Amino acid sequence: MDRGIINQKVMAGQRLMLGFDGIELNEDLKHIIGDIKACGIILFKRNIETPEQVTSLCEACQDYARLCGIPPLFIAVDQEGGTVARFKEPFTVFRGNPFIESVQDARNFASITADELKQVGINMNFAPVLDIVPEGVDSIMKDRVFKGGAEQVSTLGMEVIHTLQENGIMAVAKHFPGIGRTLKDSHFRLPVLDIDLETLRQSDMIPFVAAKNEGVSGIMLSHISYPQLDSLWQASLSPFIGNGLLRSQMGYDGLVMTDDLDMKAIQHDMKTCIRQVLKSGIDMALICHKGPDIDKASHEIISLLNEDETLYGMGEKSVERILRIKKKYLQNPDLIYSCS
């Protein structure tokens, strides 16, 4: 198969959302943007000092992407409120989903958060959490979820999604198909949730169906293993869960992304992860820390797109979805040429 190197590199880069070290446009970021041609970057506490510094950082990154002739960047952050909020004071400090009890509470959180993120150049929020914690379960997620069952979680989550996106911030619902029943933390180990699909459909997946109907920009897959759904691969690497359940059965045509592939729950090398991401119809792989895995991922995507006609076709559809969302929320998404 004869694929142009520019198209390969852009197609590969647009499948990656990447983390970095530092608080300003540095050589690592120039590599991510200009060489890897990443679709976006992710900010963490290590990248944040003041609102003015974040604004300068985001503007510099978008300017450099424009200089390199690639689409504008998704610039994302986890700003759920409560225990997971990368921006602290002087940003508004919210107590988190467990304390959002009404639609007005949800609207207030999302409206203020969207305004503050937009002011500093953030355009994507990895929120809301739509996991459901059943009564009596000591879930690892108990401090990050809306209280109540599927209906309440859906109602409050949809208000957050609607308000964020109405105010120009792309929302990402997480963690499909639901991790509220898990007791272990996927940052440190691989949780296993031995539950059947019908139970998930009748409870845990209901808020994600609502999010699809609300037009949520993205859905993040969990790193959890669901052996009754896929005995070989956890959700973030599973063709059945990503392409079969979420895409084909649920009919979701927005962005699908993994959780951070640097988490300890991932017990495979990066080449294996990338092969599974592409086979699963997942649009974007998240790699949240600086290191050799970023280059390995880029090279592996290029290689697989060049070797496999089916993966290339799926890759074209993924890039089309990414550019469609960028066109809706950002500017100049059709610039897909290589950095000179």
Q: Give dist(CA 146, CA 210) in Å, integer.
A: 15
Cβ atoms within 10 Å of 267's Cβ, excluding its own: 11
Q: Decide if 259 is catalytic.
A: yes
Residue type, 67: L
Q: Give dist(CA 6, CA 35) in Å, integer.
A: 11
Nearest of 186, 188, 100, 184 to residue 144 by alpha carbon: 100
Q: Do the strands 79-81 and 84-85 form a parallel or antiparallel pair, or are they unpaired?
A: antiparallel
Q: Give dist(CA 273, CA 111) in Å, integer.
A: 36
Total residues belonging to the chain: 340
Intra-chain end-to-end CA distance of the chain, in Å: 25
Q: Which of 187, 196, 253, 269 is catalytic?
A: 187
Enter the DSSP assignment of 125. Answer: E
Q: Which of 204, 230, 259, 293 is catalytic?
A: 259
Name the token pair of 261: 């592939």
Report cis status (omega within 30 of 0) of the bond before 31: no
Report the b/e string of 111-121 with b at 16+ CB within 10 A.
bbbbebbeebb
Alpha carbon 48 to chain centroid, angstroms: 19
Q: Decide if 187 is catalytic.
A: yes
Q: Give dist(CA 65, CA 68) in Å, integer.
A: 5
Cβ atoms within 10 Å of 269's Cβ, excluding its own: 11
DSSP SS3 for 328: helix
CA dihedral 49→54→55→61, nearest 10 degrees, is 150
Are 173 and 179 in contact by the 8 Å Cβ rule? The answer is: no
Please give the positions annotated as active site.
187, 259
